[in-house]
Amino acid sequence: MSELLPEQITAPELAQWLADPTRLQPVLLDVREVGEVQRCHISGSVYMPMQTVPARLAELDQEAVIVCLCHHGARSMQVKRFLNQHGYDNVINLAGGIHAWATQVDPEMATY
CB 95 within 8 A of CB 11: yes
Residue type, 72: H
Active site residue 68: no
Pick the catalytic residue: 29, 65, 70, 83?
A: 70
Question: 49: closest CA among 72, 16, 9, 76?
Answer: 76
Q: Give the angle subtended at the CA of 43 by the CAs of 52 and 106, to the nearest 5°.
A: 115
Side-chain half-sphere CA neighbours of 16 within 13 A:
6
Query: Helix or strand or coil: residue 2?
Result: coil
Catalytic sites, residue numbers:
70
